[in-house]
Amino acid sequence: MKLWQKILIGFLIGAVLGLIFPQLAALKPVGDLFIRLIKMLIAPMVFASLVVGASSIGDLRKLGRVGGKTLAYFLVTTAIAIVIGLIVALVMQPGAGFVLKEVDKYEPKPMPNITEVFLNMVPTNIINSLATDNMLQIIVFALFAGIGATMIGEKGKPFLQFCNSVAEVMYKITGMVMSLAPYAAGALMAWVTATNGPDVLLPLAKALVAVYVANILHAAVVYSGAVYLFARMSPLRFFQGMFEAWAVAFTTCSSSATLPVSMRNAQENLGVPNEISSFVQPLGATINMDGTAIYQGVCAYFIAQVYGITLGLPQYLMIILTATLASVGTAGVPGAGMIMLSMVLQAVGLPLDGILLIAGVDRIFDMIRTSMNVIGDAAGAVVVSATEGELKTIPAGVDVGGK
Ligand code: ASP
């Protein structure tokens, strides 16, 4: 049986058993073990493969072009994501019939300062950045290291070879760790369904369905369209090739933790070259969060509705703008998108306490938004590679669904 089939089975068995036997919530450590195993690979893998990637991109002009395309893709798809989220919310009216109970007070988070955000991308101590998995700082340093190593020619070779070897080792370990994925997916799903039984889910069912529908629509329209238009890749092949990463993101709720798997899937199953995958995907895991943006749009609408506030065009535009920024600022860890939702609500003038309404089931929202965040980065890597003429063709007969 293929790995993705095993993951799917583990996932379904876990979800069903968790609903029937709430005691299975105790299986969570199995999932946590898996998450720790992948997380241990992130810093060395991203750093080493991006150094190699930057050095093989070689000239700075090309690096700038790839960077520009990547950022344009990220911004455009995120803005479309929020618009889709808002349209779905307008049509489905998730807050209609919701009875507002007393909620506690929610303390607002301060708005990040733009200058500081940019300054913080430059590390003052790379060991510290690696130790804390600070992706943007690792990316900046790795780009410099790769370019520097190329500029010194022969003398840079041993360093590049070393990084190449580190990256290969990390990809290999990712493959080994993935054999645990079916059990981890089962354990995490059992925990989720055991701790979020029907009584928690039902009151918010409409909001959940709206977020799921909007995410699926976004994937079906935007990602399928993008990989087909730019790369002539069949959407089915794209989604099948990324299934492992999708499942890991769905169950771990962390795009950072999924990174080793999603890079491996994009390179091995979709033909994205290392130099583009190692740039676009870690950057995307940090700043490109379409799923989170959709969730923020739908939830802002939902909260306005349950508080009886009618939104006008200026507020919709404000939601599109701030949710794009908020999703850029969201860290790729579980629950981060909900905290950043406070930024959107504050900017639009909606009650922050609304967050507490959805907090109870945030994990269920997080599963779909994280998996869409990861798929969006992979679609970006495919689009950028194709426009650079570097997408490798994988022979049609090869089964891309994993080994
Ligand atoms: N958990 C999400 C991620 O890792 C971020 C979020 O909470 O929206 O991509």
Whether 243 is in a domain gets the answer yes
Closest atom of ligand 1 relative to the 374 alpha carbon: 9
Choice between 44 and 135, residue whose per-residue pLDDT is larger: 44
Which contacts of 164-169 are long-range, i.e. CB under 8 A and separated by 24 or more positions? 164/48, 164/52, 166/44, 166/45, 166/48, 167/45, 167/48, 167/49, 167/52, 167/274, 167/278
What is the amino acid identity at position 353? D
What is the amino acid identity at position 250? F
Q: Is 333 in the pocket of ligand 1 (CB under 6 A)?
A: yes
Kindly report which listed range (189-203, 268-282, 362-376) carries the lowest average pLDDT score. 189-203
Q: Where are the alpha helices (DSSP H) in 271-396?
A: 274-287, 290-306, 313-329, 336-348, 354-359, 362-387
Place of tokens 């509705």: 305
- State the pLDDT at residue 339: 87
Place of tokens 């645990």: 180
- CATH number reported for the structural domain that contains residue 280 in this entry: 1.10.3860.10
Kindly report which listed range (223-232, 261-270, 320-329) carries the lowest average pLDDT score. 320-329
Whether 142 is in a domain gets the answer no
Largest pairwise CA distance in the chain: 69
Ligand 1 centroid–CA 374 distance in Å is 9
**Would you say residue 396 has pLDDT above 70?**
no
Ligand 1 centroid–CA 329 distance in Å is 11
Closest atom of ligand 1 relative to the 336 alpha carbon: 7
Q: Is 329 in the pocket of ligand 1 (CB under 6 A)?
A: no
Distances (CA, A) of 263 to 162, 171, 172, 275, 321: 19, 9, 12, 11, 29
d(CA 372, CA 244): 13
Whether 131 is in a domain gets the answer no
- State the pLDDT at residue 62: 84
Determine the structural domain holding residue 210 and report its residue range. Answer: 3-22+77-113+183-387
**229-260 confidence digits (pLDDT tens):** 999 999 999 999 999 999 999 999 999 999 99
Q: Is 255 in the pocket of ligand 1 (CB under 6 A)?
A: yes
Q: Is 284 in the pocket of ligand 1 (CB under 6 A)?
A: no
Closest atom of ligand 1 relative to the 327 alpha carbon: 8
Whether 45 is in a domain gets the answer no
Claim: this prediction has a pTM higher than 0.85 = yes
Ligand 1 centroid–CA 155 distance in Å is 41
- State the pLDDT at residue 361: 87
**182-198 confidence digits (pLDDT tens):** 999 899 989 988 888 77
Closest atom of ligand 1 relative to the 295 alpha carbon: 8
Q: Is 292 in the pocket of ligand 1 (CB under 6 A)?
A: yes
Q: Is 376 in the pocket of ligand 1 (CB under 6 A)?
A: no
Which residue of 255, 341, 362 sits with most ligand 1 atoms within 8 Å of its CB, as the best mutation to test the pocket? 255
Whether 141 is in a domain gets the answer no
**94-104 confidence digits (pLDDT tens):** 888 777 666 66
Which residue of 35, 38, 82, 289 sits with most ligand 1 atoms within 8 Å of its CB, as the best mutation to test the pocket? 289
Per-residue b or e along 214-228, where b marks 16 or more CB atoms closer than 10 Å to that residue's CB: bbebbbeebbbebbe
Q: Is 215 in the pocket of ligand 1 (CB under 6 A)?
A: no
Whether 150 is in a domain gets the answer no
Mean pLDDT, the chain, integer: 89
> What is the total count of domains within the chain?
1
Closest atom of ligand 1 relative to the 257 alpha carbon: 4
Ligand 1 centroid–CA 325 distance in Å is 14
Whether 66 is in a domain gets the answer no
Closest atom of ligand 1 relative to the 292 alpha carbon: 8
Whether 337 is in a domain gets the answer yes
Q: Quote the DSSP letter at residue 59.
A: S
